[in-house]
Amino acid sequence: MCGIVGVVSTTPVNQLIYDALLLLQHRGQDAAGIVTQQERKFFMHKAKGMVKDVFRTRNMRALPGTIGLGQVRYPTAGNAESEEEAQPFYVNAPFGIVMVHNGNLTNAKQLREELASTDHRHTNTESDSEVLLNVLAHELGRSTSGVPLTTQDVFKAVRAVHKRIKGSYAVIALIAGYGLLAFRDPYGIRPLCLGKGADGTWVLASESVALEGTLHTLERDVAPGEAVFISTDGQVHSEQCAENSVLNPCVFEYVYLARPDSTMDGISVYQARLNMGETLAKRVISTVPPAEIDAIIPIPESSRPSAMQLAQLLGIPYREGFVKNRYVGRTFIMPGQGARKKSVRQKLNAIGSEFKGRNVLLVDDSIVRGTTSKEIVQMARDAGANKVYLASAAPPVRHPNVYGIDMPTRAELVAHGRTVEEIRQVIGCDALIYQDVDAMKQAVGKINPAVKGFEASCFDGVYVTGDISEADVLALNEGRNAGAQEESQDTSRLSLPNAQEQ
């Protein structure tokens, strides 16, 4: 999962792209990069680290131009330690293209072989994004036949790209001297939206918060399979370039990944989380009598809307029982269980008065490995809780994700191959309540009836692209970084800070 942004303006764009990336920082903290274009020349700076650390004043001054793009990276394919795999990626032919990508190609290995043997193009990293860029470059070269590039040439190339690549992808590419190209996979798995400023500036971004936070108005979402081309003079062209496109956004965006103040595909993330709290209430009542719960306490941060709605519907006091230290560095590569436990205690501290002598219901947005959930439950007991119940606003995570979320392998998922009672015993809570899969989809989907389905493979095992086999899942997990396998979560789920921290 990554955050991407692209801008076409009449004024310098370096600061605007920087500001937008800060608003998307929750989508990736491993690396950041910006490319701008002045006349036909690209200016690039990228490095591992957070946006505020990667870009200093001298770097910003070296990024002139009125058109550009940027990315914050969270690696789900390739080498997480490689500085070279920070985006944007660049190829010099045809025309000169730089590109940023959010998602994950499921046929990258096959495409890499085709690029070498048939297209005669070289890739120098393990990143699937570099593969995607070279496929796009090859198809652009084929579509132009040596004549100046036209909008229809661009759309013809994107149609060919859709036919070759599989998986999830939201892409923004800058073609030297021509303009900014954006397109989205035919299932709309990864988000991408378009906004406009009062001065005529056009902005493309992963989430609407990057538009609103930079004083731009959300115009619309890029449709599944659609390509949008914005010329250097600000003219916008769009065309549907995929056959049989259907909107199936990733439901985990609404559960956890996106900021609550974003709207994606017509669905407010905050409202989606409120709705999940509402449906969760019915599950809680059927498991634990509300009279036996003294307080409902969220596990910071993104479970708060669900916990608040749950407390209101059950008529139980909502309390903040955990304080999160926002200034502790990332700890997901800590080796060993002992270090993992220590890192949780450094990030969260219990307020003893909210637990002592009480039966508390802890609410989390999702449970992935269960190791951190187990530690948090023990923290509540150590703080004096009489009974500790745990509710997840999302269903059990039983399957790996192959579309751009660094979800652990099956063996690492606490819910894989276990009943709810067996999971409860592992975590050590007095009762464990999970959201229902269908209820979750309905809770999110009713906000925008035009969304007919969701990519929810980590919950239901259904891969919407229809081309993922058991062998594919195993192969895609082989390349997981050893450090990420050891500790791929932060606080209670994945190795990402909660969106509300940003």
2, 250, 429, 458: which one is catalytic? Answer: 2
Cα–Cα distance measured from residue 494 to residue 484, given in angstroms and rounded to the nearest whole number: 10
- Is the distance from CB of 30 to CB of 77 less than 8 angstroms? no
SS (H, E, C) 210-252: HHHCCCCEEEEECCCCEEEEEECCCCEEEEECCCCCCCCCEHH
- Is the distance from CB of 343 to CB of 495 less than 8 angstroms? no
Structure tokens at 144: 């132009």
**Is the omega angle on the peptide bond into residue 301 within 30 degrees of 0, that is, cis?**
yes
- Is the distance from CB of 252 to CB of 496 less than 8 angstroms? no
Phi/psi of residue 3, each to 5°? -120, 135
Is residue 193 part of the annotated active site? The answer reads: no
Residue with tokens 């059927």: 286
Cα–Cα distance measured from residue 430 to residue 379, given in angstroms and rounded to the nearest whole number: 14
- Is the distance from CB of 318 to CB of 281 less than 8 angstroms? no
Alpha helices in 315-461 (DSSP H): 336-347, 371-382, 420-427, 437-445, 457-460
Enumerate the active-site residues. Answer: 2
